[in-house]
Structure 1
Amino acid sequence: MPPADALIPPAELKRLFFRIFPAVALAMFGAALDQTLVAAALPAIARSLGDVERVSWIVVLYLVANTVAAPVYGRLGDAFGRRRMLLVALGFYAAGACACAVAPSLTWLAAARIVQGFGGGGLISLSVALIAEVVPPRERGRFQAWIAAVFTGASALGPVLGGFLTGEFGWRSVFMLQLPLAILAAWLAVTRLTNTAKGSPRGFAFDWGGLVLFSLFVAPALLALDQARKLTPLPLLVAGALALVAGIALWLLLRQERRAPDPLLPLNLLGDATIWRTNLMTGLVNGAFVGSIAFLPIYLTTVRGLSPSEVGFALLPLSACSGFGALMAGAGLARTGRTLVWPAIGLTAAAMALAVIAAGAGVLPMPVLAVLLAVASLGFGSSFPMVQVTVQVAAGRERLGSATASVQFSRSLGAATGTALLGAVLFGALVVAPGDAAGLFVALVNQGASALAGLAPDGRALFQSELLDAFRALFGAAALLTAVAAWLCTRVPLQRV
């Protein structure tokens, strides 16, 4: 297979792309589908397993495992070949989906999502790296329509399919669906991909110390956010202790990576201004995007009174339009060679749309809300292809795997942190509100509208007002994260390829 920076005739480039595309497309489709598919089932899972305060950890713990796994797959893919590691990732993903489908408790489900997340951490990063081996950076914009179609299809199908499956067959069917997808993706990978190990496994020493310390940094940091949202003395003390553990682990991790012969996180790569600023930007974007997807179903059921199937259709603009945003940005890249100007514009529009949603959370008509979600989705989508191209060009071909994994790592860490942070904003606003707003909210999600039957009209009106204020704070926080990401787009040194 010729390198991506070689001069390849257009017809040959097209042939190479479409040989590998079906295999990587299905792997990416499964990973993209998971986010919106499971989000649509969250209210039903909360009612079934009875722990609404921790139901967001079904998303968060998946993303924690995803975050930890991304650099592992990037490093091992460079050494042992990306096809081989893609098959390993699909194995973990399928095993986790099976365990999720039979989960008897939220604890079991959370543990199974960790296994599934460890597999999901390699699906997108390895697939994107496989494409980057074939397609030159600027030409990737011309093929973005096909990649965008994968994410658009998965994102559009996820909420509708998740709502339908949850309403008709129960939330377990959401996870059962993922098993045949993983099996088919594995078959395509075996039949259509070649293994392209760049280094010799004999000279490779995996950085186990770095992996342990990285895990000890990520998990306590996110658990600290979960505890801090409760705003009571004991959880705040626990949050402080966890933050201390995370800080010590980070310090030890940096020392470990400086002296490791084959570091899990190459600091010389991450220290490049283009790479770290782009990764920070994409972390903020995914924090706002995935965090919004995680809590919008709960907002739509508790505030708007929608059914699970109606929630799926209501989420469609947010999930479906991201692919079109990626398509438009990719076309702009192919024509002009400019990268981050497109997400700078798109994310500014997304931040404004989220700010309007925050201001009018209780009064916006559903059609207006749908338009605003579509605008936000287009803006978020404009950043997705650009960060990959920018980081890969800055890193160079010899560090392609680690560079691609750093983007996936930033996306996963940002999504996990953003989901936990937005959850902290929501529950924190309810905890500090007068009365027992947090307890009523938990009962409302678990029991539906019947939980408010015993409230007097004045009490019901007060609770609805407090609930609206909490969701306004959540959407406002998402808008702020997005606005900072838009500003960062203008501060990245590499603006053309």
Structure 2
Amino acid sequence: MPPRDDAPGPPTDPAELRRLFFRVFPAVALAMFGAALDQTIVAAALPAIARSLGEVERVSFVVVLYLVANTVAAPVYGRLGDAFGRQRMLLVALAVYAFGAACCALAPNLAALGAARMVQGFGGGGLIALPIALIAEAVPPRERSRFQGWIAGIFTTASALGPVAGGVLTELFGWRAVFLLPLPLAAIAAWLAATRLGGASKGQRRGFRFDWPGLVLFALFVGPALLALDQARRLTPGALAVGAALALLAAGALLLLLRQERRAGDPLLSPDLLGEPTIWRANLLSALTSAAFVGCIAFLPIYFAAVRGLSPAQAGLALLPLSAMAGVGAVVAGSLLARTGRTMAWAGGGLALAAAVLGLVALGVGVLPLWLLALLLALVSMGFGATFPMVQISVQVAAGRERLGAATASVQFNRSLGAATGAALLGAVLFGALAAAGGDTAALFVALVNRGPDALAALPDAARAGFRDDMVAAFRAAFATAALLAAIAAWVSTRVPLRRV
């Protein structure tokens, strides 16, 4: 078993810890903010991109291709950061990210935009894992949790600002402005990283050879897997058939990848690292949490529109407690970790709370007052947020300092895959329940997903009421599924061997 990340290193004096953290944090905050912002800001520009480039049916690939490249890149930067130094690789990631964003802004057609988004995503893959690992390098594990509020605040702020900033930029300056915004952010982040991170580790290069076959096989697994999940969300027989073929390709690539990584000298995905019980169980917990969390976020706007009759702006406000309170949960859990040293006890408690409240939401989905539903969703979000610092710190401690980047990247990869799986799973549950209801319910649901509330405008009152009843039953099944995922994650938290840092 590798040495744990609990050896004497950074100081533990509170004043010195604050100095260390605030030396590193400004240098990595803009990088994390840009990467987190880019996950949501482009969504607001998709309709304008479709109108401009004339390929409405394929415009979602602008998001999917970025996610594929982002997920593939995370372990690459983690492994190279361990070998060549995280400061150096952060500068490389910022350069690739900015170049991809500039190419997106200049793209003449959707194919060029998709290719540029892959470049941007490959840069963005390093802008979350590397900064978190750099912070972990400066601050010891237990005290690290004291600063989780700042890290959570970056993601919470970016998630809240993304759709708003994307909408404003698109309306005032056109959709290309969305891809110009990262350029000054990346330039400032690169300057801060170059001037403030001089004390970062220079890496452990000793005879390092990059695992190119592993990278190719990993890409052949991740790309088809995420594309299969995207096809599954389209809810048509043809798309499901394509998704099944892609899933088979992903499964074959995964088998070959596992064989390659067992014999590689410097594996991209170390079997020893990922097979360590604390790491794989904490990552499984993280994937399940992301599946339930992102699955809820993905389909709640449809619930608010179809069942509650809210406008898009009102639905955005109603969704805010679920998207924003995760940061509060991370802060509270981080404070408890710093005081007690306990990790999974707080994560398990948060997940149990989320599972129980989601169960209540499932039971009362059609009758709960909107204010009470918002309060319950805030509690769900806090419960999910409590897992964020616990998973990250547990994985980093179990991995040891020499493999800090690879371990941090594994969390990012599992969160991305869990998020995509959760959205697909809850979409399948919703569609299955609506298809079982019979009539035109499933077709109306697909129209609602594709066209928004306008799809229901021409329906008679009786048909709209019937559709609402069917939607209530379908969302009851979806929320129950999310509750089950959270409950399984809570059980997994009890099986993680590392309980205290």
Question: What is the TM-score with the length of structure 2 in the denominator?
Answer: 0.87
Q: Is the 8 A contact 1:52 1:445 kept in 2?
A: no
Displacement, 1:470? 3.2
CA separation in 1, counterparts of 2:308 and 2:379? 20
2:411 corresponds in structure 1 to 407
Displacement, 1:456? 3.2
| Matched residue SS, 1:191 | helix
2:45 is the alignment partner of 1:5: no
Displacement, 1:243? 2.4
Q: Is the 8 A contact 1:231 1:428 kept in 2?
A: no
Q: Is the 8 A contact 1:286 1:411 kept in 2?
A: yes
Q: Is the 8 A contact 2:148 2:330 kept in 1?
A: yes
CA separation in 1, counterparts of 2:472 and 2:55? 21
Displacement, 1:26? 1.7
2:228 corresponds in structure 1 to 224
Letter aligned with residue 78 of structure 1 = D
- Structural mapping, 1:20-419, within 5 Å: 20-38=24-42, 59-98=63-102, 111-158=115-162, 161=165, 174-194=178-198, 196-200=201-205, 203-228=207-232, 234-419=238-423
Letter aligned with residue 5 of structure 1 = P
CA separation in 2, counterparts of 1:211 and 1:116? 18
| Matched residue SS, 1:200 | coil
Displacement, 1:386? 0.9
Structure 1 gap segments, 5+ residues each: none
Displacement, 1:180? 3.1
Q: Greater shift after overlay, 80-89 or 144-153?
A: 144-153
Q: Is the 8 A contact 1:33 1:158 kept in 2?
A: yes
Q: Greater shift after overlay, 62-71 or 458-467?
A: 458-467
Q: Greater shift after overlay, 216-225 or 334-343?
A: 216-225
CA separation in 2, counterparts of 1:59 and 1:284? 22
Q: Greater shift after overlay, 125-134 or 447-456?
A: 447-456
Displacement, 1:207? 0.8
| Matched residue SS, 2:138 | coil
For each residue in 1:204-232, what CA deviation from the matched residue of structure 2 results, as whole angstroms up to 9, or x when unmatched? 21111111111111222233334445676
Q: Is the 8 A contact 2:433 2:477 kept in 1?
A: yes
Q: Cα distance 1:401–1:452, how it changes in 2: closer, same or farther (>3 A)?
A: closer
Letter aligned with residue 361 of structure 1 = V
| Matched residue SS, 2:384 | helix
Displacement, 1:430? 3.7
Q: Cα distance 1:333–1:451, how it changes in 2: closer, same or farther (>3 A)?
A: closer
Q: Cα distance 1:436–1:291, how it changes in 2: closer, same or farther (>3 A)?
A: same
Q: Greater shift after overlay, 384-393 or 237-246?
A: 237-246
Q: Is the 8 A contact 1:444 1:451 kept in 2?
A: yes
Displacement, 1:89? 2.0
CA separation in 1, counterparts of 2:475 and 2:241? 26
For each residue in 1:365-400, what CA deviation from the matched residue of structure 2 results, as whole angstroms up to 9, or x when unmatched? 221122122111111111111111101111111221
Q: Greater shift after overlay, 287-296 or 317-326?
A: 287-296
CA separation in 2, counterparts of 1:153 and 1:449? 28
| Matched residue SS, 2:285 | helix
| Matched residue SS, 1:133 | helix
Displacement, 1:166? 6.5
Q: Cα distance 1:391–1:470, how it changes in 2: closer, same or farther (>3 A)?
A: same
For each residue in 1:161-207, what CA deviation from the matched residue of structure 2 results, as whole angstroms up to 9, or x when unmatched? 55666677776655544443333222221222225322237x22111
| Matched residue SS, 1:142 | helix
Q: Greater shift after overlay, 265-274 or 288-297?
A: 288-297
Q: Greater shift after overlay, 80-89 or 280-289?
A: 80-89
Letter aligned with residue 245 of structure 1 = L
Q: Cα distance 1:210–1:8, how it changes in 2: closer, same or farther (>3 A)?
A: same
For each residue in 1:306-329, what CA deviation from the matched residue of structure 2 results, as whole angstroms up to 9, or x when unmatched? 344333322221222111111111
Letter aligned with residue 420 of structure 2 = A
CA separation in 1, counterparts of 2:311 and 2:49? 14
CA separation in 2, counterparts of 1:108 and 1:299? 35
CA separation in 1, counterparts of 2:358 and 2:173? 33
For each residue in 1:323-370, what CA deviation from the matched residue of structure 2 results, as whole angstroms up to 9, or x when unmatched? 111111111111111011111111111122223333333333221122
Letter aligned with residue 196 of structure 1 = S
Letter aligned with residue 481 of structure 1 = L
Displacement, 1:114? 3.3
Number of equivalenced pairs: 494
Among 464, 486, 489, the residue aligned to 2:490: 486
Letter aligned with residue 85 of structure 2 = G
Q: Cα distance 1:60–1:281, how it changes in 2: closer, same or farther (>3 A)?
A: farther
| Matched residue SS, 2:33 | helix
| Matched residue SS, 2:336 | helix
Q: Is the 8 A contact 1:229 1:428 kept in 2?
A: no
Displacement, 1:38? 4.8
2:439 is the alignment partner of 1:435: yes
Q: Cα distance 1:94–1:476, how it changes in 2: closer, same or farther (>3 A)?
A: farther
Give aligned-pair identity as a percent.
70
Q: Is the 8 A contact 1:39 1:294 kept in 2?
A: no
Displacement, 1:242? 2.3
| Matched residue SS, 1:8 | coil
Q: Cα distance 1:242–1:171, how it changes in 2: closer, same or farther (>3 A)?
A: same
